[in-house]
Each structure stands twice: as structure tokens, then as C-alpha cells.
């Protein structure tokens, strides 16, 4: 289980500040929505919390340790050991199979999908992709790729899940299923942070942070 704390955080790209003075605590067992209109900086904030971007001021601490100045090796260890990302550009390897995209592992010979095949099948079953495991990921629709990203997080049993608009391409039934799965992950102790403008998803969250608005916590 992982706690992330932002203190007086300023985020930006190419030294241009986008959000300022953010104080936010993200704790195990909860889902937090970062919400606001397009262009408000919620995706930049999400990426900064996940250590994909370095803040221009303030700190991000992980389990009480200041991670703001971590080097690339330390960040990679966090991504490998604790975090799973579900991003709008999917992070999916189109030329590989759906099964491989869940485990991101090859077997010892490097010739077939590695990892725990039972857990791969279970993750795909939970996300409605059970019949697609041997297909190339390029055959999936946008919504299916988003669900594949969630299957990867389930397989990994990540303690931190960071998702950018995870329901944007989903119909009502699949959206309800993804919200249910995210809630189950939170109930099992994951810390979940979502950038979203989906009011249904926002209403299912435990904490809502309106990016760019004062006193938004």
C-alpha cells in the first residue's frame, strides 16, 4: 500500500507553470478524481504525481520519502514495483499480442509470452477481453485498449493506479464494469488517481480535486 502526498506543488511543461500551490494527499483504499475542463492541467498533474514529469516547485513524497528529485533509476523502480498507468495514448504495444501486453514478459527462451498465464487469463476475463488474448493489440478498438490497460494493472496488482480518462471511449456497460473494477482495486488497498471529466466516474470517487480552482479538495 502506498501513500502519495503533494505539497505546494507547481506543475508545468517546458518551464511554463500550469497549476500552482497544490496540496493533495492520496491514500490507500481510495479513488481520487482530478477533474476540470480541457486544458486546466489535470493530465499534467496526473503525470507529475506519477513521476512522469518533474514539478517546477513543491514536492511529491511517496510513503514519506521525497521523490521529487529521484533519478531515472529510482523512478523506474517505482514504475516497475508499485505503479500502473492507464493513459490516453494507451501505452500499448500494437505489434504484440494482447496476452503479452498484460504481462509485458517473455518466457526464458524469449519466444513466447511469459508470466503467470492463469493471472493473465483472469485479468482479461475481468475486463471483458477473455477471447482476445492471442490477437495482436492493434486489432483492438480504442475502448478495448483502455480495458487492456486496466487488465495490465490488475495483473500487476499495482499499489498505485494512475489513469487518464479511463472511461472516455467506453459505452455505459463497460464504463460501469471499469468503475466496479477500480473500486475493487481500491478496496484491496490500491491508491487510485484518475484524470477525468466523466461525471459518472467522478461521482464514484472518494475524493475530488478540481484542478485550477481554489479550495477544491
> What's the CA gap between 168 and 188, in Å, rounded?
25
In DSSP notation, the chain reads ---EEEEEEEEEETTEEEEEEEEEEE-TT-EEEEE-STTSSHHHHHHHHTTSS--SEEEEEETTEE-TT--HHHHHHHHHHTEEEE-TTTT--TTSBHHHHHH--B-TTSSSB-S-HHHHHHHHHHTT-GGGTTSBGGGS-HHHHHHHHHHHHHHHT-SEEEEESTTTT--HHHHHHHHHHHHHHHHTT-EEEEE---HHHHHT-SEEEETTSTT--
The string of pLDDT tens digits covering residues 106-152 is 776 666 788 889 999 999 999 999 999 999 999 998 888 888 988 99
Query: What region does 85 belong to: left with phi over 0, alpha with psi -120 to 50, or beta?
Result: beta
In a domain, 77, yes or no: yes
Residue 23 main-chain phi, psi, to 5 deg: -120, 120
User: What CATH number does the domain containing 186 carry?
Assistant: 3.40.50.300
Kindly state the average pLDDT of the residues 45-66.
Answer: 95
pLDDT at 109: 61
Q: Residue 86's closest CA among 173, 17, 18, 170?
A: 170
In a domain, 217, yes or no: no
pLDDT at 119: 94
pLDDT at 151: 92
Banded model confidence at residue 61, pLDDT cuts 50, 70, 90: very high
pLDDT at 52: 93
pLDDT at 108: 63
Kindly state the average pLDDT of the residues 11-39.
Answer: 89
* Residue 167 neighbours by CB under 8 Å, 6+ apart: 146, 174, 175, 178, 179, 196, 198, 200, 201
Above 80 in pLDDT, residue 23?
A: yes
Query: What region does 90 belong to: left with phi over 0, alpha with psi -120 to 50, or beta?
Result: left
- What is the residue-averaged pLDDT of the chain? 90
The string of pLDDT tens digits covering residues 74-96 is 999 999 999 999 886 667 899 99
Residue 174 CA, distance from chain mean position: 17
- Radius of gyration for the alpha carbons in the chain, expressed in angstroms and rounded: 17
pLDDT at 121: 95
> pLDDT > 90: what percent of the chain?
65
pLDDT at 9: 94
Cell representation of residue 95 = 505489434
What's the number of domains the chain is made of?
A: 1
In a domain, 216, yes or no: no
In a domain, 10, yes or no: yes
Domain boundaries, position 41:
4-210
Find the range with the poorest average confidence among 35-49, 67-81, 104-118, 190-204: 104-118
In a domain, 215, yes or no: no
> What is the distance between the terminal CA atoms of the chain, rounded to a whole angstrom?
22
Amino acid at each position: 500500500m502506498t501513500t502519495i502526498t503533494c505539497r505546494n506543488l507547481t506543475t508545468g511543461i517546458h518551464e511554463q507553470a500550469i497549476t500552482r500551490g497544490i496540496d493533495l494527499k492520496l491514500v490507500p483504499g481510495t479513488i481520487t478524481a482530478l477533474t476540470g475542463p480541457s486544458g486546466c492541467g489535470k493530465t499534467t498533474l496526473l503525470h507529475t504525481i506519477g513521476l512522469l514529469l518533474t514539478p517546477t516547485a513543491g514536492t511529491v513524497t511517496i510513503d514519506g520519502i521525497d521523490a521529487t528529485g529521484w533519478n531515472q533509476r529510482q523512478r523506474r523502480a517505482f514504475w516497475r514495483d508499485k505503479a500502473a498507468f492507464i493513459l490516453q495514448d494507451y501505452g500499448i504495444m500494437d505489434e504484440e499480442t494482447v496476452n503479452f501486453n498484460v504481462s509485458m514478459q517473455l518466457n526464458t527462451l524469449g519466444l513466447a509470452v511469459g508470466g503467470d498465464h492463469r493471472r493473465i487469463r483472469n485479468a482479461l476475463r475481468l475486463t471483458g477481453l477473455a477471447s482476445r488474448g492471442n490477437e495482436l493489440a492493434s486489432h483492438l478498438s480504442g475502448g478495448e485498449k483502455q480495458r487492456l490497460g486496466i487488465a495490465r494493472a490488475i495483473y500487476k496488482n499495482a499499489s498505485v493506479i494512475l489513469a487518464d480518462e479511463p472511461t472516455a471511449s467506453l459505452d455505459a456497460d463497460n464504463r460501469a464494469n471499469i468503475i466496479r473494477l477500480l473500486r475493487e482495486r481500491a478496496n484491496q488497498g490500491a491508491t487510485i488517481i484518475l484524470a477525468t471529466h466523466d461525471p459518472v466516474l467522478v461521482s464514484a470517487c472518494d475524493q475530488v480535486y478540481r484542478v485550477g480552482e481554489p479550495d477544491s479538495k
